[in-house]
Copies of this chain bind each other. A is one copy, B any other.
Amino acid sequence: MSVLYPRVALIGLGLIAGSMALAMRRAGLAGEIVGTARSAETRATAREIGLVDRVVDTAAEAVADADLVVLAVPVGVMGDIAQEIGPHLKPGATVTDVGSVKGAVIAAVAPHIPEGVHFIPGHPLAGTEHSGPRAGFADLFQNRWCLLVPVPDSDPQAIARLRALWEGIGANVEEMDPDHHDLVLAVTSHAPHLIAYTMVGVADDLRRVTDSEVIKYSAAGFRDFTRIAASDPTMWRDVFLTNKEATLEILGRFTEELFALQRAIRTGDGQMLHDYFTRTRAIRRGIIEAGQDTDAPDFGRSKAH
């Protein structure tokens, strides 16, 4: 493939930015990749492992003369970063982000983007429970979705180029409006993460069942929750604080439904439980048929078949 952006600036050098750097380099889509991170330790690690072509100390320095600027920091600090880089952005450049929430990010970032710079919010639905500059890998976005959430005056050509970049590193791209994005993600990601964090916290608290037993016997189902609940605490704090309304709405629905199932258990309504569990099984089949997960038993963890 040919170079889409002569210079790319990555602000933040965690799992997502690191994976983008490795994937863009492998695909030859960026001329030079410049990166920065707030923490000196992260910058040192990125230099040590050669994650990007050049590591600089400030975001302002990183965006100088950049054709594409990627904000890959926790959602809660996007606004501060935008304020810092605003005056240094090159006319005609594109600014995008990879945050898990879109409404709040647009509200925080858009006011700092100068005339003549294209702001095209984005969100790759990809990640693992690992974080930091060593966590990235070039295949992270293969067959995953990247949602672009253009603002009303986003330039069509700038959108097309950003789409080509994501497709060039393996993602499938869709466009969506911010409110719908934040609701869909509340269902498919934010509420499930909070629920997993909660269940793991409950297990940790239980005194009669010791920690070591919870860990020892975790393969019975609980361990799947612990993977999700091992995700980056700062990133997730910010997601919940900035997608408050949609997350609380889905959690309200969840609680209502949980109470109905608890009542069925209490009253011994086996038919209701059986019907419910049969219905949820069908969704799993849909996900496998859509190529969004493996059909291998237990995610292929067991060396089965």
Chain A: residues with CB nearer than 8 A to chain B?
76, 100, 125-130, 135, 137, 139-140, 142, 144-145, 147, 183-185, 187-206, 208-209, 211, 213-231, 233-234, 236-238, 240-241, 244, 247-248, 250-251, 253-255, 257-258, 261-262, 265-266, 268, 270, 273-274, 276-281, 283-287, 290, 292-294, 297-305
A304 touches B225 (CB 8 A): no
**CA separation between A294 and B301, bound complex, in Å?**
7
Interface pairs (29), CB distance under 8 Å = A125-B217, A128-B302, A142-B302, A184-B213, A184-B214, A185-B217, A185-B220, A188-B221, A192-B221, A197-B280, A199-B254, A200-B284, A202-B254, A202-B257, A205-B253, A205-B257, A216-B292, A224-B224, A227-B298, A227-B299, A231-B281, A233-B274, A236-B277, A240-B265, A248-B262, A248-B265, A299-B299, A299-B300, A300-B301
Residues in chain B near residue A231, CB distance under 8 A = 277, 281
CB distance from A251 to the nearest CB of B (A): 6
A201 touches B279 (CB 8 A): yes
**CA separation between A270 and B224, bound complex, in Å?**
25
**CA separation between A187 and B300, bound complex, in Å?**
24
Q: How many copies does the complex hold?
A: 2
B298 touches A128 (CB 8 A): yes
Given contacts A227-B299, A229-B280, A278-B233, contact A187 B216 (CB under 8 A): no
A188 touches B214 (CB 8 A): yes
Residues in chain B near residue A227, CB distance under 8 A = 224, 284, 293, 298-299
CB distance from A108 to the nearest CB of B (A): 15
**CA separation between A259 and B213, bound complex, in Å?**
26
**CA separation between A11 and B280, bound complex, in Å?**
28
Given contacts A218-B287, A273-B236, A290-B215, contact A304 B137 (CB under 8 A): yes
The 8 Å CB contact of A300, one of B201, B223, B261, B300, is B300
Residues in chain B near residue A202, CB distance under 8 A = 187, 191, 250, 253-254, 257
Q: Which of A139, A206, A215, A238 has the most CB of B within 10 A?
A: A215
A184 touches B217 (CB 8 A): yes
The 8 Å CB contact of A258, one of B188, B214, B251, B279, is B251
CB distance from A291 to the nearest CB of B (A): 10
A247 touches B265 (CB 8 A): yes
A283 touches B140 (CB 8 A): no
Residues in chain B near residue A226, CB distance under 8 A = 280, 283-284, 287, 293
